[in-house]
Amino acid sequence: MNRRLSKPFTPYYRGRFAPSPSGPLHYGSLLTAVASYLQARCNHGCWHLRIEDIDPPRQQKGAVRQILTSLRAFGFDWDGPVRYQSQRLAYYQHIAAQLYKDQLAYYCQCSRKQLSSSPEARLGRNYRGNCREMELAPLAGRSLRMRVGTDHVAFNDGVFGRQNYDLQADSGDYVIYRADQLPSYTLAVSLDDIHEGYTELVRGADLLHLSARQLHLMQQFTPQPVQFMHVPIITDSSGQKLSKQNHASALDTRHRSFLLYSALKDLGQEPPKYLSRRSVANIWDWAFSRWQVSLIAPEMMIKQGF
Ligand code: GLU
């Protein structure tokens, strides 16, 4: 098959913010949204919003509405309609079937329990290709894995610099379609990022290690996938990563100026203190004229006191 996917013509920067509705936006997501928005607008590009709602067990009722309301309250202004991954399930399934047909992917019957108790997992290594040569049929309860070769995947991250991954050692053949019949994060995000034509993906550093897989998958369809820029993630005062699953507190939009100011500060932009008492519009104006990626510290985590 011709695996080239149709890709919009992109004469300029295209960026996006892609929250999962597993809870309301927290301060860590605000940091990512601010960085991706400023990157897009300061590069005279467009900025889109995509809701990654393909994992129902991890979704929280009302989260989509809360996310959109907080983004608006913080003055984010996205281009075009909001996109929803849940509307593209048939497409992900179709492409997964094509990859299987082309023998680039194979079915795996190993259960999570089996894998986590394997000697490799105990050594901290990932999937070693147990089912690679078994030619298993596509039965319910089996996952679909992409074959990885011995080539390394390298890319330059906008904040963390040169990254080099040995996919075979780091992840092994990775899942593109889950045993519970849902597309994997890697499959959905890769297909959408190609289809929607983004030129750079700005997201949290917790996803840095997944970018090698994403690039590997995207390269099956397009020779020039995308640039990456990962921003530090935020921990709470006890050192735990802020995440929706950890029930990080929702952004309190009554304090939006202070929170926006703090996000700029944590992104290394050195905003003057008085800005924390200005309007959201004033803060954005300041940020549009000062944004500099080189000021972001390449640290995996930044500890916040609130
Ligand atoms: N949906 C992911 C999250 O909420 C982000 C995915 C991405 O930006 O690629 O953490």
DSSP string computed for 192-219: HHHHTT-SEEEEEGGGGGGHHHHHHHHT
Place 121 in a pLDDT band, splitting at 50, 70 and 90.
Answer: low
- DSSP assignment of 96-158 equals HHHHHHTTSEEEE---HHHHHTSHHHHTT-----TTTTS-----TT-EEEE---S-EEEEEET
Q: In 142-293, which residue ranges form alpha helices assigned H by DSSP? A: 167-170, 185-195, 211-218, 256-266, 280-290
Three-class DSSP category at 298? coil
Quote the ligand 1 centre to 123 CA distance (angstroms): 28
Quote the ligand 1 centre to 35 CA distance (angstroms): 14
Per-residue pLDDT, 305: 61
Place 222 in a pLDDT band, splitting at 50, 70 and 90.
Answer: very high
CB of residue 242 inside a 6 A radius of ligand 1: no
Place 128 in a pLDDT band, splitting at 50, 70 and 90.
Answer: confident
Q: Answer whether residue 1 shows pLDDT above 70.
A: no
| Domains of the chain, earliest start first | 14-302 (3.40.50.620)
CB of residue 189 inside a 6 A radius of ligand 1: yes
Rounded to whole angstroms, how far apart are CA atoms 32 and 283? 17
Quote the ligand 1 centre to 26 CA distance (angstroms): 13
Residue of 25, 86, 203 to mutate, ligand 1, most atoms within 8 A of C-beta: 203
Task: With beta carbons less than 8 A apart as the criterion, state whether 205 and 267 touch.
Answer: no
Q: In the predicted model, what is the mean pLDDT of residues 88-113?
A: 95
Helices (H) and strands (E) counted in the chain, each on its own, are: 10, 12
- Residue that the structure tokens 């000062």 belong to: 290
Q: Classify residue 241 by burial, with Cβ atoms within 10 Å: 0-12, 13-18, 19+.
A: middle
Q: What is the mean pLDDT of the chain?
A: 91
Task: With beta carbons less than 8 A apart as the criterion, state whether 127 and 171 touch.
Answer: yes
Q: Answer whether residue 124 shows pLDDT above 60.
A: no
Q: Answer whether residue 56 shows pLDDT above 90.
A: no
pLDDT tens digits, one per residue of 207-219? 999 999 999 999 9
By 3-state DSSP, what share of the chain in percent is helix, strand and coil, each rounded to 5? 40, 20, 45
Q: Answer whether residue 117 shows pLDDT above 80.
A: no
Quote the ligand 1 centre to 6 CA distance (angstroms): 23
Residue of 32, 34, 195, 207 to mutate, ligand 1, most atoms within 8 A of C-beta: 207
Q: In the predicted model, what is the mean pLDDT of residues 264-281?
A: 97
Per-residue pLDDT, 6: 63
CB of residue 236 inside a 6 A radius of ligand 1: no
Q: Classify residue 250 by burial, with Cβ atoms within 10 Å: 0-12, 13-18, 19+.
A: middle
Per-residue pLDDT, 219: 94
Residue of 27, 51, 189, 210 to mutate, ligand 1, most atoms within 8 A of C-beta: 189
CB of residue 18 inside a 6 A radius of ligand 1: yes
CB of residue 203 inside a 6 A radius of ligand 1: yes
* Sign of the dihedral defined by the CA atoms of residues 282, 287, 288, 290, in that order: positive
At residue 203, what are phi and psi to the nearest 5 degrees?
Answer: -160, 180
List the single range of 44-48, 110-114, 193-197, 212-216 with lowest mean pLDDT: 110-114
Q: In the predicted model, what is the mean pLDDT of residues 16-39?
A: 96
Per-residue pLDDT, 234: 87
Of the candidates 243, 288, 296, which has an alpha carbon nearest to the alpha carbon of residue 267? 296
CB of residue 20 inside a 6 A radius of ligand 1: yes
94 or 300, which is more confident = 94
- What residues contact residue 225 under an 8 Å CB cut-off, 6+ apart? 193, 194, 214, 215, 218, 219
| Bridge partner residues of 129 (DSSP) | none
pLDDT tens digits, one per residue of 9-25? 556 899 999 999 999 99
Quote the ligand 1 centre to 203 CA distance (angstroms): 7
Q: Answer whether residue 157 shows pLDDT above 70.
A: yes
| Bridge partner residues of 16 (DSSP) | 48
Q: Whose CA is nearest to atom 6 of ligand 1?
A: 18
Task: With beta carbons less than 8 A apart as the criterion, state whether 68 and 251 touch.
Answer: no
Share of the chain above pLDDT 70, in %: 92
Mark 44-64 as b/e (b = at least 16 C-beta within 10 Å).
Answer: ebbbbbbbbbbbeeebeeebb
